Amino acid sequence: MASVAQSAPATPPAPSAAADEIRLTDAQRMAILNSNTEESAAAARGEQLGPGLAGRGIHGEVGVMIGSNGSRGIYGVADIPLGENAGATVSFESSRFGYPRR
């Protein structure tokens, strides 16, 4: 007795349903890789290279606090350079202080 699964024709896989997926040809991929420089890669990451611009990356700190009676907290701050003469500072804090049990 022949099996139905063995006699069914093979179907090609369905195309990807992701609308934001872009596929490059090998030639396009090589053109991108060959045109990259250290400066263009740094610009894509938001960094700036050049004289006088050292240290212009994102800097910041994060920390945590743990205390008695269930006290706990977390905080963070980041300084973000914007262009050559501007910047933004972003910070957050969340804490919960425990109280003595009765």
- Rounded CA-CA distance 89/79 in Å is 5
Query: In DSSP terms, which residues pair with 94 in a beta bridge?
Result: 74
State whether 35 and 63 are in the same domain.
no
- Structure-block tokens of residue 46: 């938001």
With respect to residue 8, please indicate whether it lies within any of the assigned structural domains: no
From the list 102, 52, 101, the residue with the least C-alpha distance to 81 is: 52
Answer yes or no: do 42 and 80 share one domain.
no
Q: Which of 98, 58, 97, 94 is nearest to 75 (CA)?
A: 94
5 lies in some domain = no
pTM: 0.42
Element (H, E) at 5: helix 4-7
For 89, the domain range is 58-102
Answer yes or no: is 72 within a domain: yes
The tens-digit pLDDT sequence of the chain (102 residues) is: 454 455 555 555 555 556 778 888 999 888 887 888 877 777 767 666 665 555 678 889 999 999 888 899 999 999 998 877 888 999 999 999 877 766
Cα–chain-centroid distance for residue 74? 21
Q: What's the total number of domains in the chain? A: 2
The pLDDT, as a whole number, for residue 52 is: 55
Domain shared by 94 and 75, yes or no:
yes
